[in-house]
């Protein structure tokens, strides 16, 4: 039988039942294809101690093994394992422990701490805080009784993580359990790259079957275009402050994320260029940090006459402050809270009918027809750095700027026609 290449394995068909296929004749390495579609490599060797066959997990295809180069490295290590076993007369599993250091026996909490030290340098403060909170929740569940080696796949690590996922699932926290598993997987993968896991076994390298069972992702609700005039009627007749009404109207115009709008500063406004320039480190901007191929860059919002009217009104209220949407009631933040606009919509009677993020869907779908604008232009303007399929990508930050200005001018005028009062 000919040897299977990485490409052969990756493209191999899936069988209705578990299947074992030899990868290379005489090597002792087999491809295990699970009925769920998981493909992993496993080595079989006879123990020099009790002469029993030992099954050694070597890695999951497309997760631990991602190229032919990885395959070649794996076979080299497999040959080393067999030679080492013959020389030392020790269990094959001990091969992976031969160079273990006290660091590899650290606790889960210590791994999280080291990973967070690394992650803090490459993430935004709010993202780092959220990730740190999730790790603290995970540690509360597991406690500090397990060493890090207990989390290796074949030592019960998969089952340990599974108990956490099941617990979250039982509390109907479907989306959260997938996020937690992914987060732990990233942390373990970092530990593998650092040499903390000498056996390179990540217990979170693939999803658990229970994660998506019965789970239906919820979309942010949005209204139809013929319901927009009613929305403006309710906004205009409400007794909320000028700050709240203005921030919501400006959000409906600009279509950028809420956290960007409420944290807007007066020095972002460039009157000479007739532009709002949002710094790349602003919360709510989807920008990649510390990657040479995708550097930080600003987000531009062309100013329209309608936007200027709103901002001029606010100058008498907050022009002496740093933030445009400053209010005397600000306690936790020096500006309006990001959730305040959704709470405002709820008070107007739009609970489960419309959210701020749901409005972005209205902009993308209706903006194409009403404003006669290409979808790519609208996507770029609302802050998307690219489609999931990668059709846009992150290019020059000024790309499409004239087209984006035309779109916003048409969009703002259309909102006024639908009943928005400035």
Of the pLDDT bands very low, low, confident and very high (cuts 50, 70, 90), residue 244 is very high
**Any idea which residue has 């009613």 for tokens?**
230
Kindly tell me if the per-residue pLDDT of 178 is higher than 90. Answer: no
Q: Is residue 243 packed enough to be buried (19+ CB in 10 Å), middle (13-18) or exposed (0-12)?
A: buried
What percent of the chain stands above pLDDT 70? 86
Of residues 76, 82, 75, 42, the one with CA closest to residue 59: 42
223: confidence class by pLDDT, cuts 50, 70, 90: very high
| Predicted confidence (pLDDT) at residue 121 exceeds the cutoff of 70 | yes
User: Of 34, 57, 59, which is closest to residue 45 (Cα–Cα)?
Assistant: 57
Two tokens, residue 188:
């373990």
pTM above 0.85, yes or no: no
- DSSP state letter for 15: P
Map residue 405 onto helix, strand or coil. Answer: helix
pLDDT of residue 205: 77
CATH topology of domain 225-287+294-417: hpI Integrase; Chain A (1.10.443)
Cα separations (Å) of 100 from 43, 105, 188? Answer: 21, 8, 17
Instruction: Please compute the mean of the pLDDT values over residues 193-222 and round it to a whole number.
Output: 72
Q: How confident is the model at residue 216 (pLDDT cuts 50, 70, 90)?
A: low
Per-residue model confidence as pLDDT tens digits over 31-64: 888 877 788 888 888 887 777 888 888 878 877 7
Q: Indicate whether 390 pLDDT > 50.
A: no
Residue 307 pLDDT: 96
What is the pLDDT averaged over residues 299-304?
92
User: Order of strands across the sheet with 53-60?
Assistant: 19-22, 29-33, 39-46, 53-60
| pLDDT, mean over the chain | 82
Domain 6-97 fold is: Double Stranded RNA Binding Domain (3.30.160)
The pair of structure tokens assigned to 156 is 């019960």
Please determine, for residue 372, whether its predicted confidence score (pLDDT) is greater than 80: yes
Contact status, residue 95 vs residue 81, Cβ threshold 8 Å: yes
* 287, 288, 293, 298: CA torsion to nearest 10: 30
Could you tell me which residue, 259 or 86, shows the higher pLDDT?
Answer: 259
pLDDT at position 351 is 92
Residue 263, pLDDT score? 92
**Contact (CB, 8 A) for 114 and 154:** no
Bigger pLDDT: 291 or 204?
204
Digit-coded pLDDT (tens) for 135-165: 988 888 888 777 787 787 777 788 888 888 8
Task: Tell me the pLDDT band of 322, cut-offs 50, 70 and 90.
Answer: very high
The DSSP H or E segment spanning 363 is: helix 356-370
d(C-alpha 157, C-alpha 181), whole Å? 12
Per-residue confidence (pLDDT) for residue 230, from 0 to 100:
96
DSSP states of 297-344 = --EEEE--HHHHHHHHHHHHHHTTSSBTT--TT--SSSS--TTHHHHH
Q: Which of 56-65, 202-211, 332-341, 365-374 has the lowest mean pLDDT?
A: 202-211
């Amino acid at each position: 039988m000919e040897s299977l290449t990485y490409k052969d394995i990756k493209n191999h068909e899936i069988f209705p039942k578990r299947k074992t296929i030899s990868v290379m004749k005489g090597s002792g390495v087999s491809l295990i294809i699970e009925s769920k579609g998981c493909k992993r490599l496993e080595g079989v060797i006879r123990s020099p101690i009790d002469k029993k066959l030992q099954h050694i997990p070597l890695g999951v295809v497309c997760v631990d093994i991602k190229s032919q180069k990885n395959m070649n490295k794996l076979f080299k290590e497999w040959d080393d394992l067999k030679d080492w076993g013959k020389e030392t007369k020790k269990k094959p599993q001990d091969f992976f422990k031969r160079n273990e250091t006290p660091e590899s026996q650290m606790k889960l909490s210590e791994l999280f701490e080291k990973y967070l030290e690394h992650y803090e340098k490459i993430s935004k403060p709010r993202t780092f805080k959220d990730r740190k909170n999730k790790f603290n929740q995970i540690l509360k569940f597991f406690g500090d009784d397990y060493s890090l080696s207990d989390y290796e796949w074949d030592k019960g690590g998969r089952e340990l993580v599974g108990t956490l996922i099941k617990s979250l699932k039982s509390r109907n926290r479907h989306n959260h359990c997938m996020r937690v598993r992914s987060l732990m997987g990233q942390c373990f993968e970092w530990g593998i790259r650092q040499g903390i896991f000498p056996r390179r076994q990540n217990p979170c390298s693939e999803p658990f079957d229970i994660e998506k069972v019965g789970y239906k992702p919820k979309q942010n609700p949005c209204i139809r275009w013929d319901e927009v005039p009613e929305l403006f009627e309710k906004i205009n007749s409400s007794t909320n402050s000028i700050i709240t009404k203005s921030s919501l109207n400006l959000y409906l115009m600009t279509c950028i994320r809420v956290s960007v709008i409420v944290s807007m500063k007066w020095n972002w406004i460039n009157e000479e260029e007739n532009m709002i320039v949002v710094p790349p480190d602003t919360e709510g901007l989807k920008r990649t940090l510390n990657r040479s191929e995708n550097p930080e860059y600003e987000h531009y919002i062309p100013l329209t006459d309608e936007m200027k009217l709103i901002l001029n009104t606010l100058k008498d209220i907050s022009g002496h402050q740093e933030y445009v949407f400053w209010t005397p009631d600000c306690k936790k933040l020096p500006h309006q809270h990001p959730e305040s606009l959704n709470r405002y919509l709820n008070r107007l009677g739009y609970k489960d009918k419309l959210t701020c993020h749901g409005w972005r869907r209205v902009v993308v779908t209706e903006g194409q027809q009403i404003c006669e604008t290409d979808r790519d232009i609208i996507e770029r303007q609302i802050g998307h750095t690219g489609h999931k399929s990668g059709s846009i990508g992150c290019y020059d930050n000024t790309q499409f700027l004239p087209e984006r200005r035309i779109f916003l001018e048409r969009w703002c005028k259309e909102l006024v026609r639908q009943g928005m009062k400035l």
